[in-house]
A and B are shown apart, each in its own frame.
Chain A
Amino acid sequence: MILEIAWKNIWRSKLRSLVVIVAIAIGLLGGVTAVAFMNGLLIGRIDDALEIEVSSIQLHNADFMENSELKYLIDNVDDYIVDIEKDSSVKAVSKRLVIETMVSSNRAAAGLSLIGVDPEKEKQVSRLYEKMLDSNSTYFVGVKNRPIIIGEKVAKKLKVHVRSKLAISAVDVNGVSVRSVFRIVGIFRTQNGGFDEMNAFVRFKDLQKILGIEDGKAHEVAIILHKMLETETLKNTLQEKYTRYRINNKSLLRVLNDSIPESVYYKLLSIKSDKEYSKIEFESMLKNSFIEKTNELYSKQVLTACETGIEVSEWKQLSPELAMQTSWMDFVLYIFVGIILAALGFGIVNTMLMVVLERIREIGMLIAIGMNRRRVFSMIVLESVMLSLVGGVVGLFLAGSLVSFLSINGIDMSMFSDGLRALGYPSMVYPYIEADNYIKVTLMVVITGILAAIYPALHAVRINPSIAIRE
């Protein structure tokens, strides 16, 4: 019955309650939609980042990650690819050659990363082929001899267009300078201006031939998973299988750079050798040889420092800024909605205080006839929670409807496309918010209702019935 009274009491002053409800609803509509918008922006960025730039997982020669020299290749790369393709979580795999080079046209030159890809395999890993600028551009179609694809910004810088020739200067595996001419078949434009400015694509076999790289070798293996973001399991499996560990001069230098204690450094120095270990073997050796309890804290750093062979990196490592933004999205929601609710909370405090002050005689009567103070407190808190919840439900319903509509139709931000491209974000944003966030926000609304009611409820329980009844 107290629940019923609390509910009925909300509607005593309809206008006042409606003002609070509308304020909460608008606050949540704004807060949730804004967070959904940021989420959509980030998801758009992540989708493109993974499907065009970094893929889900990449394999490299461990030394290549530190120093992108031509010689740091993955040997027997096709064996790795066959092995990886057996995993059911893998959607596609593509090998790449990657060199830093100078590209020049008749009128200008630019330094960029030249990436050699197998076009058919690469299309399964990367959606770059969808990002061709116009109908003149193709994805390695139309020119048999040494086709090249460049970004729009590079094309502008070099003042070239489709069918123009570009000269590539590089150093082959023997250290000899080579120069080769490619013909532009496509100009791409992704949502990340930085990516467009830094990368050009040629066929794997063309680059392999120019650089004199033997068959079965590549710099990079790009893997895309069916569930693009869920990389941890496969990453760990591959790392376990492919990464080797060795304590040599290079790893010792890394240990020093990581500020690992000198005692650990000298112990590692004492067992330095060129022998390579699997992860299990290496961990077991560390444990048995010298890593004591106090040094276990550093064992992860030691492992990383001693990595050799193949290094397996997931998108979170390849693009840590995206990983950070993803992990912050929930936090952003709490902060955003929290600030809005805190502001609204003061409005609820004011309303509930008015409610109590207007009903002093009635509350006094309730206490007089036997309603204990705990129940009086609960009644006021319930009124506040119900009032907040009505606003919350209305706000979340409106926000849900709006986000749902916008998630299908999108928000066209093309007027800011230059700025967004510079940061790598899409100009068409599809707001999105996880379903469980609605529950979390509802809980936050309930908590706000409870907190906002505490002061008015304490005021109510302190009412002296003998005085209140005569008011």
Chain B
Amino acid sequence: MSIITLSNLNKIYNEGTDIPVHAVNNVDLSFEAGEFSVIKGASGCGKTTLLNLLGGLDTPSSGNIIIDGVEIGKLSASNLTNFRMNNIGFVFQAYNLIPVLTARENVEFIMHLQHKSKKERKERALALLESVGLRDRADVRPGKLSGGQQQRVAVARALASKPKFILADEPTANLDTKATENLLDIMENLNKVEGITFIFASHDDRVIKKAHRLIELEDGKVIG
């Protein structure tokens, strides 16, 4: 069953000017629950734009995005924020952890926004850190963690809100080979064991190799 359906999706930057940029061009796609998909393509092909549209971070110029039966283009700004919080997990290229909070607090943060109890927050955060192999680093601030460790905390944070799927935009771009392998193993394992849906945007071969489904973009169009 599809959890995400994109139909006739377009994103045009500088619309109405002499030099419009068609970042996403008539994309029709759907994603099933439990997928481990990678959107690949050269730099500037529209991977990140497509991922941002999927995550409700950007609005399409035309077309529909339906997530779990909800057409997100029709949601108000505040409802869309809440929708993202409860349905979508994000892993960013630059980790984007809150530097003044510890690893555990970073993971707990989104659960705080969901008004989860302190006990539940703490237990789930520790369990998630355990699942990414960082239980012993729970009380350490991001500044004291390596890049790979920070990205694993970011994965734990993305999972904290129990989202329907996780969007990962170039998650390995800043990592060395060992950290990349470690991170991808963890994500693959979460996909296999817990059925977490991952959608990546990446041109990293190490990520592409792990993909169960490859979507190739070129100039904003799906070509394969």
Q: Write out the residue numbers on chain B whose beta carbons fall within 8 Å of the beta carbon of A370.
A: 81-82, 84-86, 110, 113-114, 161
Which of A2, A368, A370, A371 is the most central at the interface, judged by chain B CB atoms within 10 Å of its CB? A370
B141 nearest CB neighbor, chain A only: A8
Q: Write out the residue numbers on chain B whose beta carbons fall within 8 Å of the beta carbon of A372.
A: 78, 81-82
A468 to chain B, nearest CB (A): 9
A-B pairs with CB below 8 Å: how many?
A: 67
- The answer, among A1, A365, A374, for a CB contact under 8 Å with B92, is A365
Q: With the chains together, A373 CA to B77 CA distance in Å?
A: 9
A375 to chain B, nearest CB (A): 7
Instruction: Map CB proximity to B onto A369-385 as digits: 1 under 8 Å, 0 otherwise.
Output: 11111110000000000
Interface of A is mostly: helix
Q: Write out the residue numbers on chain B whose beta carbons fall within 8 Å of the beta carbon of A2.
A: 112
- Count residues of B near A (Cβ-Cβ below 8 Å): 31
A12 an interface residue at 8 Å Cβ cutoff? yes
A5 an interface residue at 8 Å Cβ cutoff? yes
B121 nearest CB neighbor, chain A only: A1
Q: With the chains together, A358 CA to B81 CA distance in Å?
A: 23
A57 an interface residue at 8 Å Cβ cutoff? no
Q: With the chains together, A185 CA to B158 CA distance in Å?
A: 94
Within A1-43, the residues touching B (CB, 8 Å) are: 1-2, 5, 8-9, 11-12
Contact check, A375 vs B113: say whether CB atoms are below 8 A apart: yes
A412 an interface residue at 8 Å Cβ cutoff? no
Contact check, B100 vs A368: say whether CB atoms are below 8 A apart: no
Q: With the chains together, A11 CA to B99 CA distance in Å?
A: 12
Contact check, A8 vs B100: say whether CB atoms are below 8 A apart: yes
Contact check, A470 vs B48: say whether CB atoms are below 8 A apart: yes
Contact check, B85 vs A1: say whether CB atoms are below 8 A apart: no
Contact check, A369 vs B78: say whether CB atoms are below 8 A apart: no
Given A1-B108, A373-B78: A368 and B86 interface contact (C-beta under 8 Å) = no
Given A5-B101, A465-B57, A466-B57: A371 and B96 interface contact (C-beta under 8 Å) = no
Q: With the chains together, A375 CA to B108 CA distance in Å?
A: 16
Within A443-471, the residues touching B (CB, 8 Å) are: 465-466, 469-470
A300 to chain B, nearest CB (A): 57
A469 to chain B, nearest CB (A): 6
Which of B48, B57, B85, B110 is the most central at the interface, judged by chain A CB atoms within 10 Å of its CB? B57
B134 to chain A, nearest CB (A): 19
A232 to chain B, nearest CB (A): 54
Contact check, B82 vs A466: say whether CB atoms are below 8 A apart: no
Q: Write out the residue numbers on chain B whose beta carbons fall within 8 Å of the beta carbon of A12.
A: 99-100
Contact check, B81 vs A9: say whether CB atoms are below 8 A apart: no
A-B contacts, 6 of them at CB < 8 A, read A1-B108, A361-B94, A367-B81, A369-B84, A369-B90, A466-B57
* Residues of chain B at the chain A interface (Cβ within 8 Å): 48, 52, 55, 57-58, 77-78, 81-82, 84-86, 90, 92, 94, 96, 98-101, 105, 108-110, 112-114, 157-158, 161, 169
